[in-house]
Chains A and B, each alone.
Chain A
Amino acid sequence: MFKKLIQESMGKSPWLFHINAGSCNGCDIELVSVLTPRYDAERLGFKLAGSPRHADIVVVTGPVTKQSLPRVLRAISQVPEPRCIVTMGSCPQSGNVFRGSYSVAGPLSKYVHVDVDVAGCAPKPEAVIDGLALATQILKEKRGQMK
């Protein structure tokens, strides 16, 4: 019963940690706008955490540049299980217009398993909310598989 409770609440309070891997700030602004009074994501329990140790969902924006790659991977590795990785916008999925640049190491899926892709350049806040909701479902499943 306790385990059930935990699994239920796992789906009700996902905390985000946002990593900007060389983004153009478009997606970052959209992600912030998800938390504004207009699309108040806190009503779904979402919250921006200050440290990866507190986070459940890691949101990566931007083509993963060579500079940011080790930092991104380190920060992701410091998120406690169960965790869920969401790529936001086209850049982390493919490099988008920056593809093939000498300084881009992406896409992210080459290095870690990405759970949810949110396409769009930049995605609409509604799309972001969809993606985060999907990630929350995945979190619950992962929690169910834990012990």
Chain B
Amino acid sequence: MTIVISALQYLGYVLIFPGFLFCFLAGMLLCGIDRKLVAKMQKRVGPPVLQPFYDFFKLCGKETIVPASASKTTFLMAPLVGLAALVVIQLFIPVFSFSAFSGMADVIVILYLLLIPAMSVILGGAASGSPYAGVGLSREMVTIISCELPLVLVLLAVAKTVGSALGTGLCFSLSDIAAYQAMHGSLITKISMLPAAVAMLLIIPGETGNHPFDAAEAETEICEGLLAEYSGAPLGVYKLSHAIKMLTLTSLFVALFLGGLGTGFVALDGIILFLLCVVLTAVSISFVHAITARLKIEQIFKFYWTLVSGLALISLVLAWYGL
């Protein structure tokens, strides 16, 4: 009996609160707010906040064309797998003190799980056989490589800080990090974590492939690159995945640096988390989008491996010497 109850509870986790439904609504809202803010900063009115929902449902109503030269199964299944993987990542990220499954995976696992959605886009695009997708694939992969190094540095810095504070030397488990912050306040208050936080803010748009790091989906140069051949519902799923990825990365930032702000009530925490995500999106995605122009791919790489990695490295060294 209790097993059934707990099974239903976990199913609820997966499907409703930190899981699918929450991801869908919050992610789409986040995306809409982002578009609205960018428009505002460009002195425009901008689309309605619900625009991503309209786009998604419209795409669901469109015809899905499978090109003759595409391998159908990969082409159609890749979006779904990527979406599922993203939802699972969201489950592994604790919502302040509440953590659905975050006892099951640590930060390095999440670092790798974040590759799965990217892989799904890459393989799906490659399966379409379009040369535009080939170019987009190359750029997407280079963007991933670019973001990997600074992200690793940031995670290691956090692990070292929390670990040395907990006395275990190092700590990879997100739930431990959350618990530590619940006790000792957010990590962002530490001097040593500030550069890492800034670096993470700069990593978020790169990981989500937002402007100006969207050379992989450059719609004017390479016809949206990897998505060039996608139409209809699969395209909508990719747009949804992109929205959810924004939510995932921002809430990862919250879990890493802004933990301990929760109240303990799950529903309320969810709202607080979403608000924090909105703020982070406004700062790290919309603002950067509004004030920059698209970078070339080698510029992206250079930017991440010099400036951002430098920031993360500073805070890693600071953390190493226990500041």
| A–B contact, 8 Å CB criterion (strictly below) | yes
Q: Does A48 contact B (CB under 8 A)?
A: yes
Minimum CB distance partner of B132 in chain A: A51
Cα A3 to Cα B47 in complex, Å, equals 23
Note all chain A residues with C-beta closer than 8 A to B63.
80-82
Interface residue range, chain A: 20 to 34
Tally chain B residues at the interface, Cβ within 8 Å. Answer: 36
Note all chain B residues with C-beta closer than 8 A to A48.
219
The stretch from A38-46, A90-98, A117-125 touching chain B is: A38-46
Note all chain A residues with C-beta closer than 8 A to B35.
42
Check A6/B224 contact, CB under 8 A, given A43-B45, A53-B229, A54-B231: no
Nearest CB on A from B107, distance (A): 35
Q: Does A50 contact B (CB under 8 A)?
A: yes
Chain B residues near A (Cβ < 8 Å): 35, 39, 42-48, 51, 53-58, 60-65, 132, 218-220, 222-224, 227-232, 235
Q: Does A9 contact B (CB under 8 A)?
A: yes
Cα A146 to Cα B42 in complex, Å, equals 38
The 5 closest A-B pairs by CB, nearest first: A50-B219, A6-B61, A80-B63, A53-B231, A9-B54
Give A48-64 interface residues, CB cut-off 8 Å to B: 48-51, 53-54, 56
Is A13's CB under 8 angstroms from B51's CB?
yes
Note all chain B residues with C-beta closer than 8 A to A7.
61
Is B54's CB under 8 angstroms from A53's CB?
no
Contact of A53 among B46, B60, B65, B218 (CB under 8 A): B65
Is B62's CB under 8 angstroms from A56's CB?
yes
